[in-house]
A and B are shown apart, each in its own frame.
Chain A
Amino acid sequence: MGILKTFSVGGVHPPENKLSADQAIEVLPLPKQAFIPLNQNLGAPGVAQVQKGDVIKVGQLLAKGEAFISSNVHSPVSGKVLKIDNVMDPSGYRRPAVVVNVDGDEWVDGIDRTDTLVKEIKLSQKEIVEKIHQLGIVGLGGATFPSHVKLMVPEGKTADVLIINGVECEPYLTADHRLMIEKGDEVMVGTTILMKGLGVERAIIGIENNKPDAIKNMTELAGKYKGIEVCPLKVKYPQGGEKQLIKATIKREVPSGKLPIEVGAVVNNVGTAFAVYEAVQKNKPLIERVVTITGKSVAKPGNFMVRIGTPIRELIEKAGGLPEDSGKMIGGGPMMGKALLSMDTPVVKGSSGILILRESESKRVDVKNCIRCARCVSVCPMGLEPVLLAQLAEMEMWEESEQENVMDCIECGSCHYTCPSGRPLLDYIRLGKNKVGQIIRNRGKK
């Protein structure tokens, strides 16, 4: 295969632990009650379109994203709206959600629920973007940025390549991996739709070479689709980071503080490509997604097609229940995921996996003095000095933090992961980003 491509600066190699890589995607049964947060995207929350007592069907609009960076939310279940109330979502905040008592599985008309592959793309570029907007597609890699916004190239910029993120560099997670094996054609058609929506002739699917079966399947399929190539990548975390993936696949470096479009690229996740296929070809809103349930003590790690709003409890029960020695529940992977507070937390559009860590894996190591070994500096994929940023945050020196480019941090956690003294570098850097972000926003208001 020759020398595999990867990004140039920094990176770490956490143990992969892809326990559920060989488990085919199963459909998770419907929950009795669903909790559907109105805000499941990066940006403004949607405005509720239903009321208490309404009887709703699957696919019905629940919340309308009215702001520019906002997204629609559709009902993943049918039944009666019990209430619209604050519910704790995976971010740990209590936010408005539609609570539905599930009754049957009634779908709105016009959604194609068959498995038939529809290859022919009938919609125009404009219609594609509109459809993706209407059906509430957001980035499924975790950031949940509204997908239609990504397809609207700003004035004066041009896109020449679409990059599909099949890296899945987070340890444990296998949802994207399974999609590429089981739904390869759909992902390819979705990619073709995204290319058309964006107006580019070329797409690159980046996949790390710890997924040889996915690389093989996608490479074979790519031959049948115009302009799509598969780029095998050397395993290195955080290759799934947008800027790292662009650097790895097309050797372009997104300028500090800018978006990928600056270098003519747009990145979408394979999960998103699949959702785009279902929306555009099958008229199906984003109401379900593949979620990995995993952990070393989990009896049956697996991958499930889960309706949005399903409490993670159902997923955990399906995988054999919460293990005795559980110490932590994480929404997402171990490097960037969020610790969850409750098993009642619903699955949302951004949920890529639920990871159950053992008690022994859950506690942080003791914090010792920094020995200035500079490992955090050498692993930082953004070329920052985490040790310095953490110190500046500790001393509340926000101006200096901004000068040291704290806002460039992508929060991949490589610094904390690698620190021999176990210092919580990212905790401090997040604090710095938060404060500096506030300062920058206030400056904009003046």
Chain B
Amino acid sequence: MLTVSGSPHVHGDSSVKKIMYTVVIAMVPAMLVSVYFFGLDALRVLVISSLSCLFFEWLIQKYLIKGPVTIFDGSALITGILLAFNVPSNLPTWIIIVGAFAAIGMAKMSFGGLGKNPFNPALVGRVFLLISFPVQMTSWPEPKMLFGNMASQPDAMGGATPLGFLKEGLKNSTVPELMSKMPDLMMDFIGFIGGSLGEVSVVALLLGAIYMLIKKVITWQIPFAYIGSVLVFTGILWLIDPDMYVDPLFHLLTGGLILGAFFMATDMVSSPISPWGQIVFGIGCGVITILIRIWGAYPEGVSFAILIMNAFTPLLNRWLKPKLFGETIKAA
């Protein structure tokens, strides 16, 4: 029996699974660093979050949708790891499970599963937890190394994140005064700071980001536009008044910017498809992040910024089309 079908008759070697597991591999350095700084608690959060996400996806696919079970395609695992990356390492187990349910159940499966969700599932889970359990979600443990007890943060900071410390402090002091009480930027880069598990180490995240760029599972447009717009926006403010506004490098190295820009804003499903759409999407994320960080109620705005821009994705897809071959001449 010969097969008859339309062209093309060959297929490239890409698959959903390959893409998803490439992202998982890219998150390994940040996972290792989180366990190194936050100890076995970080491992607990990672395992509980991942297993819960896989479990809820299986449960819904098997018993609610009664369709094929595709939990091993890697997408639920990514959601699980990203959710873990976005919470403090001392978060109670039951809250993590609630977060996983919000991410997979509400944000992903209720829209029809992989590829149909308008919002990044992990971020929906994270924001759901942040609003429901504000105290638990913002009580950061101090990073201590798994082995040894190297003094990490200046005592003045307690367990606060640099961004939280800054936001609180700016109510009655200036940026230079506060900066003198915080670890230097090298610490931020390596990850000796308070924060959610996955966001603290910029260097580990960048390793993964480079891997994803080389493997072409993400394109440069969103992360570069995102980070670039943050640098430009905060740079202008800093030049205007360095007492009021902290320098761009601080914004770059603290909080969830790197994690968000490379691992969450780039989520294929919830970001625009054309290169220009992606650039505008990235710039929007950057501007909203800084608006929230500086003038909003929360010290950090990455999650909200990405979710807000997710909502604009269909509009951006309509507005910014790829350039049609032969179009410029057609218009002339």
Question: Are these two chains actual partners, yes or no?
Answer: yes
Contact (Cβ within 8 A) A371 B324: no
Q: Which 3 A-B pairs have the closest CB atoms?
A: A413-B8, A369-B115, A374-B273
Q: A339-B3, A369-B115 are in contact. Are A364 and B11 (CB under 8 A)?
A: yes
Contact (Cβ within 8 A) B268 A373: yes
For residue B330, which residues in chain A have a CB less than 8 angstroms away from its CB? 255-258
Contact (Cβ within 8 A) B11 A417: yes
User: Which among A9, A257, A328, A371 is the interface contact of B268 at CB below 8 angstroms?
Assistant: A371
- A364-390 residues at the B interface, CB under 8 angstroms: 364-365, 368-375, 377-378, 380-385, 387-388
**A80 to B9 Cα, complex, angstroms:** 38
**A339 to B12 Cα, complex, angstroms:** 19
User: Which among A15, A247, A405, A430 is the interface contact of B324 at CB below 8 angstroms?
Assistant: A405
**A377 to B219 Cα, complex, angstroms:** 13
User: Which among A327, A375, A381, A385 is the interface contact of B2 at CB below 8 angstroms?
Assistant: A327
Q: A327-B3, A377-B322, A385-B273 are in contact. Are A369 and B113 (CB under 8 A)?
A: yes
Contact with A along B1-43 (1 / 0, CB 8 A): 0111111111110111011000000000000000000000000
Interface residues of A (CB under 8 A from B): 9, 12, 14-15, 92, 171, 243, 247, 253-258, 262, 326-330, 334-341, 355, 357, 361-365, 368-375, 377-378, 380-385, 387-388, 405, 408, 411, 413-414, 416-422, 424, 426-427, 430
A256-B324, A256-B329, A339-B2 given. 7 additional CB < 8 A pairs?
A14-B10, A336-B7, A383-B325, A416-B11, A418-B14, A421-B15, A421-B16
**A14 to B13 Cα, complex, angstroms:** 9
Contact (Cβ within 8 A) B10 A171: yes
* Distance from A136 Cβ to chain B, minimum over Cβ atoms (Å): 27
Q: Who on chain B is nearest to A326 by CB?
A: B2
**A340 to B8 Cα, complex, angstroms:** 13
Contact (Cβ within 8 A) B11 A384: no
For residue A341, which residues in chain B have a CB less than 8 angstroms away from its CB? 2, 4
Contact (Cβ within 8 A) B9 A426: no
Contact (Cβ within 8 A) A427 B324: no
**A387 to B115 Cα, complex, angstroms:** 12
Contact (Cβ within 8 A) A243 B6: no
- B298-332 residues at the A interface, CB under 8 angstroms: 317, 321-330
Is residue B181 within 8 Å, beta carbon to beta carbon, of the partner chain?
A: no
For residue A427, which residues in chain B have a CB less than 8 angstroms away from its CB? 6
Contact (Cβ within 8 A) A382 B324: yes
**A328 to B10 Cα, complex, angstroms:** 11
* Distance from B10 Cβ to chain A, minimum over Cβ atoms (Å): 4
**A171 to B10 Cα, complex, angstroms:** 10
Contact (Cβ within 8 A) B325 A381: yes
Contact (Cβ within 8 A) A328 B273: no
Is residue B210 within 8 Å, beta carbon to beta carbon, of the partner chain?
A: no
Which of B10, B75, B323 is most buried by chain A, counting CB atoms within 10 A of its CB?
B10
**A52 to B195 Cα, complex, angstroms:** 88
**A357 to B18 Cα, complex, angstroms:** 25
Interface residues of B (CB under 8 A from A): 2-12, 14-16, 18-19, 70, 73, 75, 112-116, 219, 268-271, 273-275, 317, 321-330
Contact (Cβ within 8 A) A12 B114: no
A-B contact count (CB 8 A): 160
For residue B9, which residues in chain A have a CB less than 8 angstroms away from its CB? 328, 330, 334-335, 337, 339, 355, 357, 361-362
Q: A334-B10, A372-B273, A430-B6 are in contact. Are A253 and B326 (CB under 8 A)?
A: yes
Complex A-B: 19 CB contacts under 8 Å: A14-B10, A15-B10, A243-B326, A256-B326, A256-B330, A258-B326, A334-B9, A339-B4, A362-B3, A364-B5, A368-B114, A372-B268, A377-B274, A381-B325, A384-B322, A388-B317, A418-B14, A420-B18, A426-B7
Contact (Cβ within 8 A) B326 A371: no
Contact (Cβ within 8 A) B8 A416: yes
* Distance from A147 Cβ to chain B, minimum over Cβ atoms (Å): 24
Contact (Cβ within 8 A) A411 B326: no
For residue B14, which residues in chain A have a CB less than 8 angstroms away from its CB? 375, 418-420
Q: Who on chain A is nearest to B1 by CB?
A: A327
For residue A329, which residues in chain B have a CB less than 8 angstroms away from its CB? 2
For residue B268, which residues in chain A have a CB less than 8 angstroms away from its CB? 371-374
Q: Who on chain A is nearest to B329 by CB?
A: A255
For residue A371, which residues in chain B have a CB less than 8 angstroms away from its CB? 16, 19, 75, 114-115, 268-269
Q: A374-B268, A416-B8 are in contact. Are A328 and B3 (CB under 8 A)?
A: yes
* Distance from A321 Cβ to chain B, minimum over Cβ atoms (Å): 15
For residue A336, which residues in chain B have a CB less than 8 angstroms away from its CB? 7-8
Which of B3, B9, B16, B322 is most buried by chain A, counting CB atoms within 10 A of its CB?
B9
For residue A384, which residues in chain B have a CB less than 8 angstroms away from its CB? 322, 324
**A355 to B324 Cα, complex, angstroms:** 33
For residue A411, which residues in chain B have a CB less than 8 angstroms away from its CB? 7
**A384 to B273 Cα, complex, angstroms:** 11
Contact (Cβ within 8 A) B322 A334: no
**A178 to B16 Cα, complex, angstroms:** 39
Which of B3, B12, B112, B115 is most buried by chain A, counting CB atoms within 10 A of its CB?
B12
* Distance from A271 Cβ to chain B, minimum over Cβ atoms (Å): 20
For residue A327, which residues in chain B have a CB less than 8 angstroms away from its CB? 2-3
Contact (Cβ within 8 A) A383 B114: no
For residue A369, which residues in chain B have a CB less than 8 angstroms away from its CB? 112-116
For residue A421, which residues in chain B have a CB less than 8 angstroms away from its CB? 15-16, 115
Q: Who on chain A is nearest to B70 by CB?
A: A368
Contact (Cβ within 8 A) B5 A339: yes
Q: Who on chain B is nearest to A253 by CB?
A: B326
Q: A374-B274, A411-B7, A427-B6 are in contact. Are A417 and B12 (CB under 8 A)?
A: yes
**A323 to B75 Cα, complex, angstroms:** 40
**A215 to B187 Cα, complex, angstroms:** 57
**A15 to B12 Cα, complex, angstroms:** 9
**A357 to B2 Cα, complex, angstroms:** 10
**A416 to B329 Cα, complex, angstroms:** 28
For residue B327, which residues in chain A have a CB less than 8 angstroms away from its CB? 256, 383
For residue A362, which residues in chain B have a CB less than 8 angstroms away from its CB? 2-3, 9
Contact (Cβ within 8 A) B115 A372: yes
Contact (Cβ within 8 A) B11 A383: no
Q: Who on chain B is nearest to A327 by CB?
A: B3
**A387 to B8 Cα, complex, angstroms:** 16
**A384 to B326 Cα, complex, angstroms:** 11
Contact (Cβ within 8 A) B15 A365: yes
Q: Who on chain B is nearest to A14 by CB?
A: B10
For residue A262, which residues in chain B have a CB less than 8 angstroms away from its CB? 329
Q: A171-B10, A365-B11, A372-B268 are in contact. Are A408 and B16 (CB under 8 A)?
A: no
**A157 to B260 Cα, complex, angstroms:** 54
**A126 to B268 Cα, complex, angstroms:** 57
**A387 to B273 Cα, complex, angstroms:** 9
